[in-house]
Amino acid sequence: MIAAQDRKIALWNIGVAYTAFLIGTLCGLLQVFIRNDALQLPSWLDYYQILTAHGVLLALIFTTFFIFGFFITGMSKSLGAFGPKVRLFSWIGFWVTLLGTVMATVMIVSGEASVLYTFYAPLKGSGWFYVGLALVIVGTWISSFALVGHYIVWRKTHKGELSPLFAFMTITTIILWIIACLGVVATVLFQYIPWAFGWTDTINVELSRSLFWYFGHPLVYFWLLPAYMAWYVIVPKLLGVKVFSDSLARLSFVLFILFSIPVGFHHQLTEPGISNFWKFLQVVLTFMVIIPSLMTAFSMFATFEISGRKKGGTGLFGWFKKLPWKDVRFTSIFIAMAFFIPGGAGGIINASFQLNEVVHNTLWIVGHFHITVGTPVAMTFMGMTFWLIPYLTGRKFTKSMQILGFVQIITWSIGMLLMSTAQHVLGLLGAPRRTAYSGYNGHESALEWFDGILTNHVTMAVGGSILFLSAMILIYIVVMTMFLSPKAVKPEEIVEFPMAESDKESTPKWLENWWIWIGIAVFLIVAAYAIPLSHMIHHAPPGSEGFKTW
């Protein structure tokens, strides 16, 4: 087990993550009922306010705190206990992120920032909301630097050695995160904050969106890569095999540093002010970033097959039956992966220049992110929760807990399947996103969109309610394993951190030469962004004043 002080930092991060999860999923439940007109909100609460809280607390806050809890645990396990400085900075990072979270949440709840999680200008929230967001980023940077410091110390004492796969992947994700944040930090500090506090009158809208998406796309890989870490490092251990290929795993992660960032325009394909050439270039780069995910899929199938054959599976699909289906830690992640097949395919559709015209700004996109971040990522995190918290607290993960775990992941899958299918279909029919009213296209009101076979009010409400039930079961498991379950005493009760062995003998050393990857990434970013961004600055139309539409 890792050092007690490191466990404490990790547990606080996970605790905050699940507090955000609780409030965020509650907002999600309210969401479907409002959509259904089954719920009349009190006057101090409105649709956009709840939608903002739902997006911020689940997509940004739950993920971030959970990811750091996971990183801290894994880095302490794979590289050894933290030194005093690393610990101190991890705590400071945690508190700063939490302070920012509280500030932003208070502003949303008090109705001062119903700007949705993408906070597009010219919607104008309270300046303190943006300060809160800035603190969240600064906090994560402090936590990141603490982990990088821990890694540097390890490298110094292990000259010439490749670092363990877990540490390599953590550092890759952190590099990606730090480069990505530069965009959002620039827009929040130099555009939103001066404008929201009234120091400047107007804002350059196109520039703010572009800087946001420079960050917003790699943000999705900041969520995805920790899930991939579980797929690469934890799944093989649960199957009793080694990592399929250490060098493939490292290469796929490195490709994310290169191609995650210069692609933000694929969220802006319908926007004026960016010429088609730059959109096209970034679409091509978007197709490049699909490759490491395909490599991951390949690697997973190989891992399954090797383990299945080892256990006596024969024939083309015999291995499938030999997978450890009764182990909720595995089944959860397998379902997560299965969801990512349509999730990723949907992403490829979104990224295809012309097809984007059909789906952009419709509920299809909402469906897309519920089967990317909402299931593959979130359910992998859930599957990890089942052992991560007991590992950190030394408590038992009892038989009944295992059964509840199954109920939880199955209800989550059913809920997401119903809800996201409905959203995809509605999107194709033209139902818009980000709006509570949508009476166009022959429809009298927003409600009339919801009258198809799979897209009626009842399906949506049932889907949403099942998801909420699932979330509450998870919260119960979290509370039990954190505070109430009996302590594990017998050796077979002790919950381990399942980390697979990875043969790195044949892995080339240059894969861990970060400067190569950072250098190529910077080159690609400059190539994809320098000219269009400078155009946006030099040929900007008059800036926009702010609007408070809620």
Q: Active-site residues: which are they?
A: 217, 221, 368-370, 433-434
123: phi > 0 → left, psi -120 to 50 → alpha, else beta; which? beta
| Rounded Cα gap, residues 78 and 304, in angstroms | 24
| Rounded Cα gap, residues 322 and 305, in angstroms | 9
Binding residues among 262-291 for ligand HAS as defined by CB under 6 A: 266-267, 286, 289-290
Question: Which neighbouring-strand residues pair with 544?
Answer: 203
Instruction: State how far the alpha carbon of 351 is from the alpha carbons of 51, 120, 360, 485, 533, in Å.
Output: 25, 21, 10, 46, 21
The residue number whose beta carbon is nearest to ligand HAS equals 344
Asked if 237 touches ligand HAS (CB under 6 A), the answer is: no
- According to CB under 6 A, which one of 31, 114, 126, 293 is a site residue for ligand HAS? 293
Size of the site for Cu ion (CB under 5 A): 1
Shortest Cβ distance from residue 400 to ligand HAS (Å)? 28
Asked if 279 touches Cu ion (CB under 5 A), the answer is: no
By residue count, the chain amounts to: 550
Show the site string, 476-515: x = touches ligand HAS by CB under 6 A, - = not: ----------------------------------------
End-to-end CA distance of the chain: 50
| Rounded Cα gap, residues 526 and 389, in angstroms | 42
Question: In 3D, which of 329, 323, 327, 325 has the Cα closest to residue 300?
Answer: 323
Shortest Cβ distance from residue 224 to Cu ion (Å)? 11
Asked if 350 touches ligand HAS (CB under 6 A), the answer is: yes
- Cβ proximity to Cu ion: between 215 and 517 the closer is 215
Query: What residue 92 binds from ligand HAS, Cu ion, none (CB within 5 to 8 A, per partner kind)?
Result: none
Backbone angles phi, psi at 217, to 5 degrees: -70, -55
Size of the site for ligand HAS (CB under 6 A): 32
Asked if 360 touches ligand HAS (CB under 6 A), the answer is: yes
- If you write DSSP's letter for every residue of 208-255 in order, what string do you get? HHHHHHHHHHHHHHHHHHHHHHIIIIIHHHHHT---S-HHHHHHHHHH
Stretch of 123-131, 217-225, 335-343, 371-379 lying at the interface with Cu ion (CB under 5 A): 217-225
Question: Which residues neighbour 368 within 8 Å (Cβ) at sequence distance 6 or greater?
Answer: 343, 346, 347, 350, 359, 424
- Cβ proximity to ligand HAS: between 290 and 516 the closer is 290
Instruction: State how far the alpha carbon of 277 is from the alpha carbons of 26, 140, 213, 523, in Å.
Output: 43, 35, 18, 18
Alpha carbon 421 to its chain's center: 20
Stretch of 250-258, 367-375, 472-480, 514-522 lying at the interface with ligand HAS (CB under 6 A): 367-375
Q: Exposed (0-12), middle (13-18) or buried (19+): which is 24, by Cβ within 10 Å?
A: buried
- According to CB under 6 A, which one of 277, 280, 301, 483 is a site residue for ligand HAS? 301
Output the CA torsion sign for 101, 102, 107, 110.
Answer: positive
- Cβ proximity to ligand HAS: between 419 and 488 the closer is 419
- According to CB under 5 A, which one of 217, 250, 329, 433 is a site residue for Cu ion? 217
Query: What residue 224 binds from Cu ion, ligand HAS, none (CB within 5 to 8 A, per partner kind)?
Result: ligand HAS
Residue numbers at the binding site for ligand HAS (CB under 6 A):
118, 220, 223-224, 266-267, 286, 289-290, 293-294, 296-297, 300-301, 337-338, 340-341, 344, 347-348, 350-351, 356, 360, 365, 368-369, 372-373, 377
In the complex, the residues that contact Cu ion under the rule CB under 5 A are: 217
